[in-house]
Chains A and B, each alone.
Chain A
Amino acid sequence: MKLRRFLLTACLAALPLVAAAPAMAQGTIRIGMTAADIPLTNGQPDQGFEGNRFTGIPLFDSLTMWDLSAADRPSVVIPGLATEWRVDPNDRTRWIFTLRRGVRFHDGSEFNADAVVWNVRKVLDREAPHFDPRQVGVTATRMPTLRRAEKIDDHTVALFTSEPDSLLPINLTNLFMASPTQWQRFRDANPTAEAAWNAFAREPSGTGPFRVTRFVPRERLEMARNDNYWGTKARAERIVLLPIPEANARTAALLSNQVDWIEAPAPDAIPQLRSRGMAITSNAQPHVWPWQPCFAEGSPLRDVRVRRALNLAIDREGLRTLLGGMMAVPVGTVPEGHPWWGNPSFRIRTDKAEARRLLAEAGYGPNRPLNLRVQISASGSGQMQPLPMNEFVQQELKEVGVNVEFDVIEWNALFTNWRNGCQHASARGAHATNVSFAAMDPFFAMVRFWDSKMAPPVSNNWGHFNDPRFDEMIRVARNTFDAAERDAALARLHAAGVDEALFIWIAHDVSPRAMSPRIRGYVQPQSWFVDLRLPYVQ
């Protein structure tokens, strides 16, 4: 009797806590990023996808968005500021987007078709008063076929592409909608458009679930929950972003309770973090950590035998040990069994004897060692642990007689050089670059690297790869608007890419994060991005 009463009382006492938990949703989450500076807050972040993750998606919305709500299924594209879209059956370069009604920017102005047109023009129309060359690089390369936008009515816009492109809706997840009203306000107060954009970056206004409350350049960005958000509102009250590029400093910051969450903890620190009660999260994600070869005249990586040999020379299981298990072993850009896998005949594995044989066949050996120069970064979004990983690969290749020299540069610079190509001065003669990339959509995964039209400065075909067979396969995929058929076309493309060894595939990231046990509700989707609306502090 007594026991039962006690239990009842206990349950009753606990009830308000349980009931209140979702509503109470509160607290400040302090996040240690890997970037060396706050990613740009003008709407089109720099710093790779870490920028989109932290100053893109939380502050701004795009017409189409990624579903980041679940950990156990691949992330797919869902409606964002557009509720539906379709390609014009008569003109396959014209897309009709129906916009969400009743959405307001943080400054209170209304989101409508004019805003969409304005945001397309900010990067694509050189004549536009608000055209910002700074944003072009990180935007246009991610949607190279988009040409212009036209208002149909207040809540409908037409988007035009240079050629039929079934991938456009996916690409549009990268075009963030900034507030024209806010920008105009700054333009009126500033002498130039550039100055207006700089002012905008200090006080950005989007439609996202968070709005910027405080911006200390190079040190921190504070955002507060947008209580007028059109979708599910965030649970945490405030998010604070801190750039801590050095893995060790991030780990120390978490352990000394200066942050609640760090990106990419040092793998060697993971046991220590676990023992101090920190949660380590990771999940498969569409990510590739490669060496991207230069195919230009004079590059030894023009020879497919050399590229294959390099792929065969690396003991990826050893690399996994180095990373404390925090990576997945790649067999291509996408894993086996993926709809775009396509069963390539070249098996990526460790076979040093075969690697030596291929190198010998290509004319390299003890008397004529292969010397490679690779541009790498010391840190960066998605770059995992670039220094020890590259040093490991260097050592593996040494065993088959390949000498590798590194040109270590800052991440953002490496990323910028990626759009300049391997023949540009900024490559400084590198034969490969080590920019990790997202492979969640076909454009990001393959098209931008293997289409000759995507050579710099258009997009990320850094190596100037040029093969009509690939251009044709890509054209077919882009013109296929049926999902299953498109996957089949992409699978052929992927298989061909692996057979030609168009990358040195080295690792897939599993995006390790470490967070304080006080963080609740966090979901790690199979994506580069996270939904910052979900976590909260207990």
Chain B
Amino acid sequence: MFFYLIRRILYAIPIALAVGFVCFMLVQIAPGDPINAIVPADAPGDVVEQVRRDYGLDKPLPVQFGIWLMKVVQGDLGRSLATGRSVWSDLSSAISNTLMLALVASMIGFVLGCILGGLAGTFRGSIIDRAAVTIAVAGVSVPHYWLGMVLVVIFSVQLNWLPAMGAGPGGSADWVWNWEHMQHLVLPAVTLAVIPMGIVTRTVRGIIAEIMNQEFVTALRGKGLTRAGIFLHVVKNAAPNALAVMGLQLGYLMGGSILVETVFSWPGTGLLLNNAIFQRDLPVLQGTILVLAMFFVALNLAVDLVQTALDPRIKRA
């Protein structure tokens, strides 16, 4: 068990390095001279050459990767071509905004998914089951950016109940957990929640149905345990898997919020990425992808560790 943990953590290191390498290569595969990713297009020639030497772009690729990696490890993600601000300064606020959105969306998705999946799994084959499954399939099949547009038209424009864009009256910088700010979160979070809702519903339904069929539940029933007692048992056995699925979903939402953030002008990593792509601001593009991917690696690790801790029956080779 202990050795598994150590091995699992050690294993994350080469993965992280390789992820870094992929991000590094993003700039290399981009059309044009990678120097254009670092200096503005209208910089004078001598400045360009100076930067080329500073960044070691005249050296072979592995050396360049080494130089880049050293900078990244020291927290230097470079400067935005468009604004001149350090990538990290923009990224840090964007990440917390995206994390907030993704967490809230995950929570909505998780709670709804558990309720739907639980009902469906318990009453398998009934009308409830069918309805829940239909909702779940719809959730994973809907183009959520489209759903976002529809929600804006209904709730912001027609009914005027909820704001259509932004992260609150004062922007994200003075976010407070009050209704005035939180109402900005409602539409994007609900839009983003439909996919995890669908996935969690399916997963929970599957797990519950499987556990309910297992012998120990039948045995418990035979022992005359109450429904509540059985329910507790089921939850205890279903929780690790459901949590694992949810944890990964959080990661997917963090990385996949670009469309929703664009629709709602939510000032997170997705919007940052979108602007960076169309401004061809490669340092911002690279930095954002790197940090999000690293977050995902860490999340994977955490989910694995938590799952192992919660459910020692899961055997690890």
Q: State if A and B touch, Cβ cutoff 8 Å.
A: yes
| A-to-B contact residues, CB < 8 Å | 36-37, 40, 46, 126, 133-134, 136-137, 194, 197-198, 201, 214, 216-220, 242, 244, 246, 248-249, 251-253, 255-258, 272, 378, 409-410, 412-413, 416-417, 419-420, 424-426, 457
- CB <8 Å contact, A410 and B47: no
Mark the stretch among B17-25, B36-44, B63-71, B230-238 that contacts chain A.
B36-44
> Quick one: given A194-B84, A409-B280, are A420 and B41 in contact (CB under 8 Å)?
yes
* Complex Cα–Cα for A501 and B267 (A): 44
B157 interface neighbour in A246, A252, A420, A424, Cβ under 8 Å:
A252
Selected A-B contacts with CB under 8 Å, 14 pairs: A37-B82, A134-B40, A214-B173, A217-B93, A242-B166, A255-B156, A256-B160, A378-B278, A409-B280, A413-B280, A419-B42, A420-B42, A426-B41, A457-B42
Q: Can you list the 3 inter-chain pairs with the closest CB atoms, starting with the nearest?
A: A410-B278, A252-B164, A219-B171
How many interface residues does chain B have, given as a range? 35 or more
**B300 sits at the interface (CB 8 A):** no
- CB <8 Å contact, A137 and B173: no
**B162 sits at the interface (CB 8 A):** yes
Distance between A407 CB and nearest chain B CB, rounded to angstroms? 12
* Complex Cα–Cα for A416 and B40 (A): 9
Which residue on B lies nearest to A46, using beta carbons? B82
> Quick one: given A219-B267, A220-B171, are A133 and B278 in contact (CB under 8 Å)?
no
- CB <8 Å contact, A252 and B152: yes
> Quick one: given A133-B40, A197-B84, A425-B32, are A258 and B160 in contact (CB under 8 Å)?
no
* Complex Cα–Cα for A249 and B265 (A): 8
> Quick one: given A133-B44, A426-B41, are A217 and B278 in contact (CB under 8 Å)?
no
Q: CB-CB < 8 A to B162: which residues of A?
A: 256
Q: Using an 8 Å CB-CB cutoff, how does the interface string of B264-302 with A read, 1 for contact, 0 for none?
A: 110100011001011110000000000000000000000
Q: CB-CB < 8 A to B82: which residues of A?
A: 37, 46, 412
- CB <8 Å contact, B157 and A255: yes
- CB <8 Å contact, B166 and A253: yes
> Quick one: given A218-B272, A255-B160, A256-B157, are A134 and B165 in contact (CB under 8 Å)?
no
**B122 sits at the interface (CB 8 A):** no
State which residues 221-276 of B face A: CB under 8 Å.
Answer: 262-265, 267, 271-272, 275
Q: CB-CB < 8 A to B164: which residues of A?
A: 249, 252-253, 255-256, 258
> Quick one: given A37-B83, A253-B164, are A417 and B41 in contact (CB under 8 Å)?
yes
Q: CB-CB < 8 A to B84: which residues of A?
A: 134, 194, 197-198, 201
- CB <8 Å contact, A253 and B165: yes
Q: CB-CB < 8 A to B272: which residues of A?
A: 218
- CB <8 Å contact, B171 and A36: no
Distance between A218 CB and nearest chain B CB, rounded to angstroms? 6
Which residue on A lies nearest to B42, using beta carbons? A137
**B200 sits at the interface (CB 8 A):** no
Q: CB-CB < 8 A to A255: which residues of B?
A: 156-157, 160, 164
